[in-house]
Amino acid sequence: MIATGFILAGLLGLGAYFLPVVQAAKSSGTAFAIPTLDPKQASVAPFTVLLLGSDDDSKFPPDRLNTQSMILVRVDPGSRQATMLSIPRDLWVPIPNQGYGKISWAYQLGGAPGAVAAVESNFKVHIDDYVWIGLNGLVKLVDKLGGVNVVVTNPVMDDFYPSDLAAGGDPYGYYRVAVLPGAVHLDGVHALQYVRSRHGDLRGDFARSERQQQVLLGIKAETSRLNVADLPALAGAFNGEVKTSMGLGRIRQLMGMAGDFDGPGINRIVLVPPYTSEGYVGGQSVVLPDWSTIRPLVHQSFP
């Protein structure tokens, strides 16, 4: 009886500690669940995750968000190999049950399941889970991690960077950004500037895709230091800015093996020409896919 009381008290203490994770799970509709904290051996089966990033500032109604960033990630815990494939946001594709459109519209039209379906049907891959993150979510994630280290390959200069995240600011205003080259430690705001800026680079959105992959690698390096006890502080900071279908077990698995993957074990793909070409459809600028080259490339990395 007394032992049971102490066990219950201990579980209550543990439950209170992980309460932010449960609350985050409720607000984001995730499959987070405390019972999966058991120490069973993590699966070594490869899995594929679709990472989605949206501009969720005040310019957009919360239910009308496009995805500015789509990165397909395949993780093979057995071979310690991972592949990141950036999908151009303006890729002109058939969206299931919607007709043709930019692949970034799929999230607006069908939410995360719609985005997953659009990628699965066009790239002929199976996606196990998704993670969606908003602008503030990325800022908070990086800040909670204590910053992120990246190697800036060339100066990222933008005289028209949107100031839409400033509290009470003009959502259509802008300010100037200069991220200087070399190895740097970026806080959340500067990491967001780095992945979001696109005006001053010859490669436009492709450069942005490359920088997003760099920051993901930096985040991976940061999370390799963390463990499951860090999750409540992370989850508590997001407040609906992150949504995922991943269970806590898989998140724990990812955190546990983040340090096992290093540079050579990570394959990074950006669909630059000749995989894609720029074009116009209905008067708007789009990116046209060459599926005869894309699908064999994708099949190699996402069998």
Q: Which residues bind another protein (CB under 8 A)?
A: 2, 5-6, 8-10, 12-14, 16-18, 144-151, 153-160, 174-176, 178, 180-185, 199-203, 206-207, 213-214, 217-218, 221-222, 224-230, 233, 259, 263, 268, 270, 272-273
Decide whether 99 or 264 has the Cβ nearer to another protein: 264
Question: Minimum distance from CB of 46 to another protein (Å)?
Answer: 22
User: Burial, 34: exposed, middle or buried (Cβ in 10 Å; 0-12, 13-18, 19+)?
Assistant: middle
Question: Minimum distance from CB of 136 to another protein (Å)?
Answer: 19
Question: Minimum distance from CB of 97 to another protein (Å)?
Answer: 34
Contact 88, 49 (CB under 8 A): no
Work out the number of other CB atoms within 10 angstroms of the CB of residue 267. Answer: 13
Decide whether 190 or 295 has the Cβ nearer to another protein: 190
Report the first-to-last Cα separation within the chain, whole angstroms: 54
Decide whether 240 or 259 has the Cβ nearer to another protein: 259
Decide whether 182 or 296 has the Cβ nearer to another protein: 182
Decide whether 96 or 147 has the Cβ nearer to another protein: 147
Work out the number of other CB atoms within 10 angstroms of the CB of residue 201. Answer: 18
DSSP string, 126-188: ---EEEEEEHHHHHHHHHHTT-EEEEE-S-EEEEEEE-TTSTTS-TT-EEEEEE-SEEEEE-H
Contact 124, 295 (CB under 8 A): yes
Distance CA 45, CA 302 (A): 13
Question: Minimum distance from CB of 144 to another protein (Å)?
Answer: 8
Question: Minimum distance from CB of 293 to another protein (Å)?
Answer: 14
